[in-house]
Amino acid sequence: MRSFLAGVVSTLVVLAVAAVLLVTSLPVADPAPAAPAPGRPAGAPSSVAKGETWLGDVDLSSSSVLTSDGPLTDVRATGADVRLTSNGLRAGRLDLDAVLPFATAARQIGDVELYDAGNGRAGVRRTATVLGRDIAIRATGTVTAVDGQLVIEPESVDLGGPDFVDSALSAAARRFVTIRHTVTGLPAGMRLTRVSVQENGFRATLTGNDVILNQ
C-alpha cells in the first residue's frame, strides 16, 4: 500500500515535469495581448510554500498493484487538498478502495488460510495447539471493520472430529480463528472503515485525513 501511494507521488511529479518540458519546447510566437490573470481555483489555499504544488483533487485507478506487503487489485485512490513537497505527499483527505486478496491478508496475519465461504462470510483454516493437542480448525464467520481493524468473528467452528470432541474443544479453539487484524503498509492517518467479502478477497475501503507519505 505504501509503495502504491509512493507511486502516486512519482506519477504526479513525472506528469508535472513533462508538462513543463512540453511548454518550453514549443516555438516562441509573437507576444499576444496580455490576458487577465486567472482567478484562484475554488478551494485553493491563499498561498503555497516555495517548491510545493497544490492539487485540488486527485483520482487514480489501477487494475493491480504490487507492494512490499503483498498485491492489491482493482485499486482506486482519490485525494483532496493534496500538496506535493520536496519531502513527499500530504493529503487533506485520502480515500482508497481496493481488493485485499485472501493470500495477501493471510500472509500479513500469518499461519492461516482465508477464503470465500459464501453469503458474505469468510472461511478460516489453521492448525493450532488446543489443550495440548494439535488440531486442524475450520471456521466460518462474519467480517466487519472495527476500530480500523479487519475483524472475522466465527459463527461456526469445525474441528473435524466427533460432535462430542468438537463441543469440548470448540470454545478453546474459537480464539484461534477469531481474527483481529490491522492491514499493514498504510501511511500514518489511514485506517480501514469498511470491508466486505467477495470471491477473490476482501473489498476494503480505507480513509484518512491529513495523511502524510514521505518519499
Confirm whether 39 is domain-assigned: no
Nearest one of 20, 4, 9, 11 to 84, comparing CA atoms: 9
DSSP state letter for 130: E
What DSSP element (H or E) covers 63? Answer: strand 53-67
User: How many angstroms separate the CA atoms of 208 and 193, rounded?
Assistant: 9
Confirm whether 44 is domain-assigned: no
Using one digit for the tens of pLDDT, what is the confidence trace for 114-125? 999 999 999 999
At residue 100, the pLDDT reads 95
Q: Parallel, antiparallel, or unpaired: how do β-strands 133-146 and 149-158 relate? A: antiparallel
Using one digit for the tens of pLDDT, what is the confidence trace for 158-204? 887 666 565 667 788 899 999 999 998 777 788 999 999 999 999 99
Confirm whether 72 is domain-assigned: no
Confirm whether 56 is domain-assigned: no
Confirm whether 168 is domain-assigned: yes
Using one digit for the tens of pLDDT, what is the confidence trace for 21-47? 343 344 545 555 544 445 566 667 777
Confirm whether 114 is domain-assigned: yes
At residue 166, the pLDDT reads 59
Using one digit for the tens of pLDDT, what is the confidence trace for 123-152? 999 999 887 888 899 999 999 999 999 999
Domain of residue 148 covers: 103-181
At residue 189, the pLDDT reads 82
At residue 21, the pLDDT reads 38
Confirm whether 50 is domain-assigned: no
The total number of structural domains that make up the chain:
1
Confirm whether 141 is domain-assigned: yes
pTM of the model as a whole = 0.74
Cell of 192: 480501514
